[in-house]
Amino acid sequence: MNTDELKKYITQSIDMALGSDMQGESSYTNSFSIELDKGGIKFIPRMPAGYLIDDNLYQHIFKILNVALYPNYTLLKQNTTYFVPISTRNIHVQRALYFPWQVGIPRRLIVTNLEDFATQNGGKIQIMKNLSIDYNRVTSIALAGTSGSGKSYFLTYLLESLKHVDENVHGEIGLKTLTVIDPKMDEPSRWAKANGVKVIYPATDRSKSDFVAQINDVLSECLKLIHKRQQVLFNNPSTTFKHVTVVIDEVLALSEGINKNIKDTFFALLSQIALLGRATRVHLILVSQRFDHNSIPTSVREQMNVLVQLGNINRKTTQFLFPDLDPEGIVIPLGRGTGLIQVIDDEHPYQVLPLLCPTYYTSKEKIL
């Protein structure tokens, strides 16, 4: 389908589905036109218009076109109406509703040997066939989802990638670049033990408050490292550090039912690391069934620039990581390890994308 045929198809789709919303006006009455560019679709209303051009109209057009263009294009969901100016002196058509798109649909990455694959990507973490993130641009990562949604499986993939993320960078001697905190003593603990990574899990003879106090000691050391590195950067801004990452699984389980002073300290340390860690390459990866104010402080959630929600997607499940998002109209594939992802940096668009987590096999699995 060439560009003219695609424009005609899009125009017809809108005409047929939006008749009542536009008070009977259509392209046949010259009430709007469609233009395409490399980045997306422009819906150009002719003003004055006999229909209301608002967020309701924008979201309706999104729902229509996202389905109509699947699987050739994926429209990128916007939280609010997206206007762009049109370069013309004609005041009647100087603005457009803009719908950014990507060619094709998200496709799952299949990794036949995870250990080998993780050593080949340098500072990049490949998420899908058409999406990777540069860990140098990451502040912190939030991974949410109900039990059985694939959180632990995806977390293991991230851990294996992080183990090799900056092997060529020389850092401080004896520095622990990866620490796993696992209150359930589950899959992340087993991965850490098998890979010689520092892991903290509850001891049978220690209380929950004592366990969180132990975690606070680790976070406190990270904060001291941030301050130390800030001094180095002040004198030599070009200094490159190794990434230091603290991974906390089921963070909600840590913040409930513990001593208030210890919880306040835990929240304060998380906030400071999230706020100050980016320039000094100190990161948090937090995993939880949900990220309400009981699990982490709002200031921590606001600093995270990689947000992942797995499992069932609706307004209830997305209200904490994506509070302004109405997920209706986003085409999300069914199956385990699917959901939404948003990467907020200067390399990716700010839109929320459908996510299909990688399917991977380890070298041991290949031998079996």
Residue 19 annotated as lining a ligand binding site: no
Residue 255 annotated as lining a ligand binding site: no
Question: In the block, which residue shows the tokens 């096999």?
Answer: 361
Take residue 196 and report the two structure tokens written for it.
Answer: 């010689």
Take residue 355 and report the two structure tokens written for it.
Answer: 């996510």
What span, in angstroms and rounded, lies between the C-alpha atoms of 215 and 197?
Answer: 16
Residue 152 annotated as lining a ligand binding site: yes
SS3 115: helix
HSE-CB at 147 with a 13 A cutoff on CA atoms is 2
Q: For the residues of 54-110, what is the DSSP string, one character each?
A: SHHHHHHHHHHHHHHHTTTEEEPB-SS--EEE---S-GGGSEEEEEEEEES-----E
> Do the Cβ atoms of 226 and 276 come closer than 8 Å?
yes
Q: Whose CA is closest to 263, among 254, 273, 272?
A: 254
214 phi/psi in degrees, rounded to 5: -65, -40
Quote the distance between the C-alpha of residue 312 and its chain's center: 16
Residue 209 annotated as lining a ligand binding site: no
Residue 151 annotated as lining a ligand binding site: yes
CB atoms < 10 A from the CB of 87, how many? 5
CB burial class (10 A; 0-12, 13-18, 19+) of residue 60? Answer: middle
Residue 148 annotated as lining a ligand binding site: yes
Q: Whose CA is closest to 258, among 268, 266, 250?
A: 266
Take residue 287 and report the two structure tokens written for it.
Answer: 């995993």
What span, in angstroms and rounded, lies between the C-alpha atoms of 19 and 307?
Answer: 37
Amino acid at 110: I
Residue 339 annotated as lining a ligand binding site: no
The residue length of the chain stands at 368
Binding-site annotation, residues for ATP: 145-152
Binding-site sequence positions: 145-152
